[in-house]
Amino acid sequence: MDLNKIDLQDIKEKFLKTDRKTLIKFGIGFGALILFLIIYLAILKPIVDKKRDILKDQIVKVNETKKFKKEIKSIKKKIKKLTPEFKKNSSLFHSKAEVEDLYNSLSIFATNYNLQISKIEKKPPIAVGGDKKKKKKKKKKKKKSVKASKVKYFKIPVSYAITGNFLDFIKFKRAIAKSKKMLNFDEELIEVNNKDGGKIIATGQLTIVGLPDEFN
């Protein structure tokens, strides 16, 4: 189409000859379109945008929930793996009942090796915790004990005196070392009693480890 050949006057005349009803219909249609655009931009578009944002937020939350469920599942698997190890390690600790029955337990070992226990004296448990902040010491004030939530375990010192043959005493200590409970000989003095056939008298202090939730 050659734009140079377009006659504007001819277009004007054709437009004026157009039926008035047709022009009214055209005007109503055009006005309706403009009105729709105004309503859409002013009312509908904000609603649509808000709905879209809500939908996006819901999708994000659903994805986060799925991710969280996966993390929980992974943590449960780790806990399941750690539980046997925890049970294994905690079995090394002494319960309160086992500490109370310590004399009988050691007596059984001693009897097996022809030894006699003349003294078993348990001392107050000592709490062992995590990091401790240094505090200024104040006179006439007792030291605060380690908080129960921070206690890892308790050390229970025990003074002892055992009489018998030296080699039997060594075997006795080896047997205790092989037992499933944590027990350590900290201090020890061995004296020979020449008046009693060369038997030894072993005195000292051992330490046993107690469960953190039983000695608070």
Query: Is residue 9, in this structure, part of any structural domain at all?
Result: no
In a domain, 40, yes or no: yes
In terms of domains, do 164 and 182 share one?
yes
Q: Identify whether residues 205 and 159 lie together within a single domain.
A: yes
> Is residue 204 domain-shared with residue 110, that is, in the same domain?
yes
Which residues fall within 8 angstroms of residue 111, CB to CB, at 6 or more apart? none
pLDDT tens digits along 47-101: 878 888 888 888 888 888 888 778 777 776 766 665 555 455 556 666 777 777 7
Residue ranges making up the domain that contains 51 = 18-90
Q: Is residue 33 part of a domain?
A: yes
Q: Which among 88, 89, 70 is positioned nearest to 78, based on CA atoms?
A: 70
Inside any domain, residue 1: no
Give yes or no for residue 4 having a pLDDT over 60.
no
Lowest mean pLDDT among 8-12, 103-107, 130-134, 180-184: 130-134
Q: Residues 85, 178: one domain?
A: no
Query: Does residue 133 surpass a pLDDT of 90?
Result: no
Q: What is the pLDDT of residue 159?
A: 92
Which CATH number characterizes residue 123's domain? Answer: 3.30.70.60
In a domain, 25, yes or no: yes
Number of domains comprising the chain: 2
Rounded to an integer, the average pLDDT of 173-193 is 82
Cα dihedral 101, 107, 112, 116 in deg (nearest 10) = 170
Instruction: Please state the length of the chain.
Output: 216
- Helix, strand or coil, per DSSP, at residue 153: strand
Greater confidence (81 vs 45) lies with: 45
Looking at the structure, tell me whether residues 103 and 75 fall in a common domain: no
DSSP line for 157-191: EEEEEEEE-HHHHHHHHHHHHTSSS-EEEEEEEEE
Pseudo-torsion of CA 76, 79, 83, 86, nearest 10°? -160
Q: Is residue 60 part of a domain?
A: yes
Are both 82 and 105 inside the same structural domain?
Answer: no
Query: What secondary structure does DSSP assign to 108-149, as a single string?
Result: HHHHHTT-EEEEEEE---EEEES--------TT-PPPPPPGG
Q: Are residues 180 and 119 in the same domain?
A: yes
What percent of the chain is predicted at pLDDT more than 90? 9
Same domain assignment for residues 202 and 100: yes
Looking at the structure, tell me whether residues 163 and 196 fall in a common domain: yes
Torsions phi, psi of 61, nearest 5?
Answer: -65, -40
Rounded mean pLDDT, 109-121 = 90
